[in-house]
Structure 1
Amino acid sequence: MKLLILGLAAAILSQAAPTGVSTRAACATKSQRKAWHTLTRDEKLAYLNAEKCLMSLPAELGFEGPRTRFDEFQKLHVFATSTVHFVGAFLPWHRYLIHTHEHVLKTECNYTGTHPYWDEPLDAGNFTHSILLDPETGFGGDGAGPNNCIQNGPFKHYVNAIGPGQSITDHCIDRQINDCTSAMAAQTNVDQCMAMQNFSTMWPCLEGAPHGGGHGGIGGEMLNLWSSPGDPLFYLHHAYLDKLWWQWQAMDLPLRLQDITGSNQPVSFGPFPGTNGSFPGFPGNGSIPGFPGNGTFPPGGPGNGSCGMFPGGPFPPVGTGPPRTNLVKRDGDPGNVTTLGHVLTMFGMMPNVTVADVMDVQGGLLCYEYI
């Protein structure tokens, strides 16, 4: 019955909003998303308790593997991984994912706050001592032991059923914090992305160092391209990336509400991705714009730019994604280029929408601001 309702909602939504058209619809009362660093103790505990609630609710969508609603979020990311990374839909899809996560926390776990974000430049190069890793009012600290399980905090006993990668196995939430790699989240790297004049260059820049710094700096589950939402820090990291995208869009509205492009299929989907730590297909001979050294990051780090984590790049091999076929039917695009009509799916967690529907965070479907 729930899937039927979701399907009907999707149909209504598709009729209500013209495909491929982004408009500034009325946004009644904007909610305010705040940095974790600015939240009160009570606000932090309310969010952490809501996430724990999600971990206690039974799975509903019939996916193989998940036992809880939290697991289902991780599973839908596994489903989407090969179609939402290193492609034009990277930022729009994750924007809708964070909206979906917030919606479920509110509607199923009685959460009355808004989705927080991690202001990562404040901790760049020093994730180890971030207040987000506080054992009482944060997400717990580093991993330890043979499996690098987190040792304290509200999620230390959670048994994750999804991952690593595409596998279905019971395991702890693990971390391997690397302060060297976390330096990629530095404000200077963010500023390089904010200076880009077009989405075609801004998006790969943002998916490069700022994105990689958050995942690589935490390590463990967060470093797995497929199953990274198994660490609750994932959601604050991607809320932060969404903040950066909106900040960039707001520099030139309404023009940037229409600015979307990119391939629908990653050029490579091997060792995260390509070789030598590079991002093939991105500007500059596979390098992240603004970074020397053929895409290695961060420049000058040990291990060929990898901060000593993995040879040739900070990310481990993640396998090969499923082949992408029938792009037009799947994506709502006329070809292999991301357009405003591109369909974003949460696999039944929420109705499908288009990129046009999420381009404006104050456009009707979405109604929030970052402070």
Structure 2
Amino acid sequence: MKFWASLGFVAALAAHAAPAQNVEQATCESPLQRKAWHTLTRTEKSLYIEAEKCLMSLPSKLHQATARTRFDDFQMTHVLETPNVHFVGAFLPFHRFYMYAHEVALRTECNYAGAQPYWDESLDAGNFSTSIILDPESGFGGNGVGKNNCIADGPFKSYVNAIGPGQVNTDHCIDREVTDCASQAASLDIVNACLKKATFQDMWNCIEGGPHGAGHGGIGGQMLNVFSSPGDPLFYLHHTWLDKLWWDWQSQNLNIRLTEIGGTNQGSPFLSFNGTFPPFPPIGGNFTFPPFPGGPNGTIPGFPGNGSCSPFGGFPGGFPTGPPSSPSKIEDTVPVNIAGDPGNVTTLGHVLTVHGSIPDATISDVMNIQGSLLCYKYA
């Protein structure tokens, strides 16, 4: 089993707030209404799933690597951008932009009239296996079965994915290994704790470490691969929920939080391990973690191992060459060359790209979901 291990450890590395910059005033007059999957009618669910299947049937426009379909295009974009958009200040802004690009494709290329729905995972925390979102008739199909954990029912059971796993592109099924234990980090208590954080850095670390890890770890399989996880259509509902959580936090103080950004542009050193994160070792030894929400004695449960949900315990396998050393301060990292940022600190001028599915934008452009670029709201 390939563990995502997205508990936000490196996200907490020496992230500094960026200077405030101007964000354009809102020009959104008729925002799309993004709704929770649990609240959609059966017809609304069917229309969304048919639109996603449409992307799976359309030929690739970007023609990157082995991508054959528009659905593959989005997955390949995530593979290419992974080192720049995880455990960094751009994590939430990039995925907001990425969800928007996916929504635009559904609406402009597949005649979908609705908005991108989200999965309110707090309703299913600790019980992903019984969620209505995995219903084979009105949802995304259930758990994986057999040797390769391929999904065997639902609308996507026959889709052959050409991207991944990780950075190795081979034809494979959409696989899942649903784990109720890991899904506990999507609990309402943890979500509310994240929303109470006073700064962008603390909120982002909390979301990437808790609810984000719960969605990927709770579904497992394809969703647990840091590079190729968008190969499971549930990815888009999961990250749209995370976007809602960020907006809920921003909405508590829009005057300040529409311009509050920060963090490092240097991604996790674990991304060098070709496709998946290796398991993290127990606390102690020669590997130290910077503070992150929950902590070893905190409220965020660890991913399961040997039937246990104890934090940091029981990760199978080990590091291929021993654990890498974590930089202790931002100056010890090697900056990524990001357009719009002169150094290794994430700013509002930081350029986001989805490789041509829609034009590039800056973080400033996506700070307001009802601004000059984005135009939606959450129920």
TM-score bucket (shorter structure): 0.7 to 0.9
State the distance in 1 between where 2:224 and 2:294 align. Answer: 23
Structure 1 vs Structure 2: percent identity of aligned residues? 57
1:22 aligns with 2:23: yes
Q: Check conservation: 1:160, 1:172, Cα contact below 8 A.
A: yes
Aligned match of 2:17: none
1:272 to 261, 277, 288: 277
Aligned match of 1:355: 363
Q: Give the TM-score normalised by structure 1.
A: 0.85
Cα deviation for residue 26 of structure 1 reads: 1.6
Assess, with a 3 A threshold, how the Cα gap between structure 1 residues 267 and 306 changes in structure 2: closer, same or farther.
closer
Say which structure, 1 or 2, has more relative contact order (CA 8 Å, 6+ apart): 2
- Following superposition of structure 1 onto structure 2, how do residues 326-365 of structure 1 map, counting pairs within 5 Å? 327-328=336-337, 330-365=338-373
Cα deviation for residue 147 of structure 1 reads: 0.4
Assess, with a 3 A threshold, how the Cα gap between structure 1 residues 364 and 273 changes in structure 2: closer, same or farther.
farther
Q: Check conservation: 2:36, 2:119, Cα contact below 8 A.
A: yes
Q: Check conservation: 1:262, 1:337, Cα contact below 8 A.
A: yes
Q: Give the TM-score normalised by structure 2.
A: 0.84
Assess, with a 3 A threshold, how the Cα gap between structure 1 residues 299 and 275 changes in structure 2: closer, same or farther.
closer
Aligned match of 1:305: 311
Cα deviation for residue 253 of structure 1 reads: 1.0
State the distance in 2 between where 1:189 and 1:210 align. Answer: 8
Aligned match of 2:173: 172
State the distance in 1 between where 2:375 and 2:120 align. Answer: 21
Q: Check conservation: 1:261, 1:338, Cα contact below 8 A.
A: yes
Cα deviation for residue 288 of structure 1 reads: 2.6
Specify the SS of the correspondent of 2:210: helix
1:286 aligns with 2:290: yes
Which amino acid letter does the alignment assign opposite residue 302 of structure 1? Answer: S
Which amino acid letter does the alignment assign opposite residue 129 of structure 2? Answer: T
State the distance in 2 between where 1:73 and 1:165 align. Answer: 14
Q: Which has the higher helix share?
A: 1
Number of positions where the alignment pairs a residue of Structure 1 with one of Structure 2: 338
1:45 aligns with 2:53: no
Q: Check conservation: 1:93, 1:344, Cα contact below 8 A.
A: yes
Name stretches of at least 5 consecutive residues in structure 1 with no aligned partner: 1-18, 279-283, 318-323
RMSD: 2.5
1:75 aligns with 2:72: no
Name stretches of at least 5 consecutive residues in structure 2 with no aligned partner: 1-19, 324-332
Aligned match of 1:129: 130
Q: Check conservation: 1:303, 1:311, Cα contact below 8 A.
A: no
Cα deviation for residue 364 of structure 1 reads: 1.9
Aligned match of 1:109: 110
1:83-132 CA-partner distances (Å, limit 9, x unpaired): 00000000000000000000000000000011100000000000000000
Cα deviation for residue 312 of structure 1 reads: 7.9
State the distance in 2 between where 1:137 and 1:255 align. Answer: 41
Which amino acid letter does the alignment assign opposite residue 80 of structure 1? Answer: E
- Following superposition of structure 1 onto structure 2, how do residues 151-230 of structure 1 map, counting pairs within 5 Å? 151-230=152-231
Which amino acid letter does the alignment assign opposite residue 343 of structure 1? Answer: V
Assess, with a 3 A threshold, how the Cα gap between structure 1 residues 296 and 92 changes in structure 2: closer, same or farther.
same
